[in-house]
Amino acid sequence: MINSIPSAENEAYYQRIISASLKLGFVALLIILSYLIIKPFIIMLLWGIIIAVGIYPLFRKLSSALGNRDKLASAVITLTVLMVIIIPSILLLGSTIDGVKYIAEKYEAGTLVIAAPDESIAEWPLVGKSVYETWNLASINIMAAIEKFEPQLKQVAPKIFGAVTGMGGTILLTLISIIIAGVLLTQSQASGQFTQRLFNFLIGKDGEAFTRLARATISSVVQGVLGIAALQSVAAGIVMLIFGIPAAGLWALLVLVLAIIQLPTILVLLPVSIYGFSILNTTSAVILLVLSILITLSDNILKPMFLGRGVEVPMLVILLGAIGGMIAFGILGLFVGAVILALAYKTFQALISEGSSESAVM
């Protein structure tokens, strides 16, 4: 006869399962609720962390110069970065709005005039003829050109309008992220210890090395990708403001986007320079073109200097991680992708070294 009454051992086993399940459920509930609470701030927190890691070396030097006064150093850096971003952003945003309003007013008044293109444009390879014909049509009869490309304009116009109106929100998000970064810098030691404990828990004895690698990789990408893109964007915006190019802020924003996604900024700067020949004297137009080329080429000079610096990982791995991460996850993927691929590379390298050592012993 089978005894249907569970033994004391079985009952204790079931109680342990129930207790463990309740604990896991409670932890899962806390994680879910915490995520829902901080969800609106996740992007700002991530950007704050990235910015803090990127400017941490500068923070440490300034703190040492101020007698290890971390809070003062953080306040100085935060205020300086805010001013560096706020002033150009206001100028570029104002220029973009003024440029869009100027074009809209001229169009509504029927006085919008586009200068005729140079005949040499028709000799450009592949696109020269179509660019010349479209430009020439717009210079002769802008209404006919708009009617011809009305379907394409209807698709592109909302995106351009969204980009212009979204600039204010992007600037605000950046400012809040910088403030968060400043707060994190004052707690840099505690944050570093927490990160190291986390890597020790997940990876083991190599947790400290992986902490240094993650920090160096983020710093490298901040300087080598985002930093250079920002410099190119600001330089392009200032140059266009100096030469009176309409909607300079919008073009500078497009330069920033292209630089971040690793496309040549000449794709924006060349059409702007060509347009410059129609509104500027020859000398000024040539100077604008030369400066545009220099801004584009600066990427090739600065990137090898900053990208991958201080990281024991090939620059190609960092670059592929940044580009692939951005394609998969958006702008934040620049940093996430680079860190993940760098960690994967070092892990794979460690596994190969360990395997080679074991083979040598055998």
CA nearest to 315, candidates 340, 335, 342 = 342
CA nearest to 93, candidates 181, 166, 25 = 166
- Quote the crossing angle between the two packed helices 333-361 and 207-221, to the nearest 10°: 140
Question: Which residue has tokens 């915006």?
Answer: 237
Whole-model pTM over 0.95: no
Give, rounded to a whole angstrom, the gap between the first and last alpha carbons of the chain.
57
- Quote the crossing angle between the two packed helices 70-109 and 248-260, to the nearest 10°: 120
Q: What is the torsional sign of CA 36, 40, 41, 42?
A: positive
Could you tell me where the DSSP H helices lie in the chain? 8-38, 42-65, 70-109, 128-140, 142-148, 150-186, 188-202, 207-221, 228-242, 248-260, 266-279, 282-306, 315-329, 333-361
Phi-psi bin for 65: left (phi > 0), alpha (psi -120 to 50), beta? alpha
CA distance linking residue 201 with residue 22, whole number of Å: 23
CA distance linking residue 21 with residue 247, whole number of Å: 60
CA distance linking residue 12 with residue 283, whole number of Å: 90
CA distance linking residue 162 with residue 159, whole number of Å: 5
Domain boundaries, the chain: 42-346
- Taking the mean position of all CA atoms in its chain, how far away is CA 255? 12
Contacts of 240 (CB under 8 A, 6+ apart): 248, 251, 252, 272
CA distance linking residue 210 with residue 355, whole number of Å: 20
The answer to whether the CB of 244 falls within 8 A of the CB of 99 is no
* Model pLDDT, residue 247: 72
In the numeric block, which tokens belong to residue 301? 């000079």
CA distance linking residue 254 with residue 266, whole number of Å: 11
Other residues' Cβ atoms within 10 Å of the Cβ of residue 28? 10
Per-residue pLDDT of the chain (362 residues; tens, 9 = 90+): 445 545 667 777 788 888 888 989 998 999 999 888 888 888 788 778 777 877 777 888 888 888 888 888 888 888 887 887 777 666 666 666 666 676 667 666 666 667 666 666 666 666 667 777 777 777 777 677 667 766 766 666 666 666 555 556 666 777 788 888 888 888 777 777 777 777 777 666 666 777 777 777 777 777 777 778 888 888 888 888 888 887 777 788 788 877 876 778 888 888 888 888 877 888 888 898 899 899 988 887 777 776 666 556 677 777 787 778 777 776 667 667 777 787 777 777 766 765 555 555 55
Question: Which residue has tokens 């828990």?
Answer: 201
Other residues' Cβ atoms within 10 Å of the Cβ of residue 357? 10
Other residues' Cβ atoms within 10 Å of the Cβ of residue 152? 9
